[in-house]
Homo-oligomer: A and B are copies of this chain.
Amino acid sequence: MADTAEAETQSTTKAELDRVRAGDTRALARLISLVEDESPRVRSVIKELLPHTGGARIIGLTGSPGVGKSTLTGALVRAFRAAGGPGARVAVLAVDPTSPFTGGALLGDRIRMQEHATDDQVFIRSMASRGHLGGLAASTPQAIRVLDAAGFELIIIETVGVGQAEVAIASLADSVMVLLAPGMGDAIQAAKAGILEVADMFVVNKADKPDSQQVVRDLRNMIALADPVEGGWKPPIISAVAVRGEGIDELLSQLDAHWSWLNSSGELARRRQARAREEIAALAFAALRGRMAGRVEELASQVADGTLDPFQAADELLGRPTD
């Protein structure tokens, strides 16, 4: 019985995945919801779609509210679609780690990106944290896998804000863009949050505003402070006026240059390995926490009684055979 049920679930997953790979947007949206809801089915879904992953190029975009992330994303999607031809598919995953609900900013984004709403080669989805701490950290990598398996060439992960959570999400990308704008004291804030360390390129938006050259200078100074690495990548600073599409061509060519470097230097493999490591560790800790809930009380009372030593109790919790 259990085997039949499992086989059935598997064939359902397979059928779903086939629809998703054929470009069925509603089936794709359902799979992402499954991931976002942390459904128990996520495991089997990920297992099934895993062989189809690894082909997408993942780009992270982060920056404080108001710097123009959505406008830039929109311009980037447009440019990529134009350059890549009709078969080039792009997905945008807008992640808000700070808000439990998809708030005004992301709703606004979606309205602004309506020009792509009728383009079925472009998929836009927002994910919010639903109040469950650490939930996004676990579900975002799976959402990326779903989009990757669905055949999108380019996946843009857009996060709102500059903070630790944003750094974590940005580090899920192959290339990380940090967007700044004049008059927001952003460079300093980004430096504090450690976002400069993960940036592969900086985009100074609203370059037509008077203070933008100051932001570029601040960034240049900060980059100069970092130790240069032999054969390493030096983050370029790109000035843009996203709302008028200015600087987007340069951004696209810098992204291509970074992609070439990632591949030729072996850095892509290193980054993906590091990401896998982080993900496994997070899942193992979560599983251990879950396992503890059931078993730990029993072990704790034995330790409290002095009939079991705490080291052996820890071993038993980890399922290791003890001496």
Binding site for B on A (CB under 8 A): 43, 46-47, 50-51, 53-54, 141, 269, 272-277, 279-281, 283-288, 291-292, 296-297, 299-301, 303-315, 317-320
Bound complex: CA of A311 vs CA of B318, how far in Å?
16
Integer count of this chain's copies in the complex: 2
List the B residue with the shortest CB-CB distance to A275: B304
Q: Which of B284, B311, B312 contacts A292 (CB 8 A)?
A: B284
In this complex, what residue of B is CB-closest to A312?
A: B47
Residues of B within 8 A of A281 (CB): 292, 296, 317
B277 contacts A297, CB within 8 Å?
Answer: yes
Q: In the complex, are the beta carbons of A50 and B273 less than 8 A apart?
A: no
B296 A315 Cβ-Cβ under 8 A: no
Cβ of B280 and Cβ of A313 under 8 Å apart?
yes
| Interchain nearest-CB distance for A146 vs B (Å) | 13
Known contacts A43-B311, A306-B54, A315-B287, A296 near B273 by CB under 8 Å = no
A50 lies within 8 A of B283 (CB): no
5 contacts between A and B (CB under 8 A): A46-B311, A47-B309, A141-B310, A280-B310, A284-B317
Instruction: Please determine whether A288 and B54 come into contact, CB atoms closer than 8 angstroms.
Output: no
* Residue in A279, A280, A288 with the greatest tally of chain B CB atoms within 10 Å: A280
* Contact partners of A306 in chain B: CB under 8 A: 50-51, 53-54
In the bound complex, residues from chain B placing their C-beta under 8 Å from that of A50 are 306-309
Complex CA gap A300/B320 in Å reads 21
Excluding A46-B310, A50-B306, A284-B292, 6 further A-B contacts by CB distance (< 8 Å) are A46-B309, A54-B306, A273-B304, A275-B304, A276-B301, A281-B296
Q: How far is the CB of A2 from chain B (nearest CB, A)?
A: 11
Distance (Å) between the CB of A129 and the closest chain B CB?
Answer: 20
Q: Among the listed B53, B285, B317, which residue makes an inter-chain contact with A280, where contact means beta carbons less than 8 Å apart?
A: B317
Question: Are the C-beta atoms of B317 and A319 separated by less than 8 Å?
Answer: no
Is the beta-carbon distance between A320 and B317 smaller than 8 angstroms?
Answer: no
Q: What separation, in Å, do the CA atoms of A54 and B302 have in the docked complex? A: 12
- Asked if residues A301 and B273 are in contact (CB atoms below 8 Å), the reply is yes
Q: With A304-B269, A312-B47 given, is the CB distance from A288 to B284 under 8 Å?
A: yes
User: Does A304 lie within 8 Å of B43, measured CB to CB?
Assistant: no
Report A213 CB to chain B, min CB distance, Å.
Answer: 41
Tell whether, in the assembled complex, residue B284 and residue A314 are in contact, meaning their CB atoms are under 8 Å apart. yes
* Complex interface: chain B residues within 8 A of A269 (CB): 304
User: Given the interface contacts A54-B306, A279-B303, A303-B280, does A287 sit within 8 Å of B314 by beta carbon?
Assistant: yes
Q: Please determine whether B283 and A311 come into contact, CB atoms closer than 8 angstroms.
A: yes
Asked if A280 and B314 make an inter-chain contact with CB atoms under 8 angstroms apart, the answer reads: yes
Given A280-B313, A283-B310, A310-B280, does the pair A288, B46 have CB atoms closer than 8 Å? no
The answer to whether B303 touches A276, judged by C-beta atoms less than 8 angstroms apart, is yes
CA distance A256 to B67 in the complex (A): 63
- Shortest Cβ gap from A158 to chain B (Å): 23
Closest to A308 in B: B50
Pick from B46, B285, B304, B312: contact of A276, CB below 8 A. B304
- Give CA–CA (A281, B313) in the complex, Å: 9
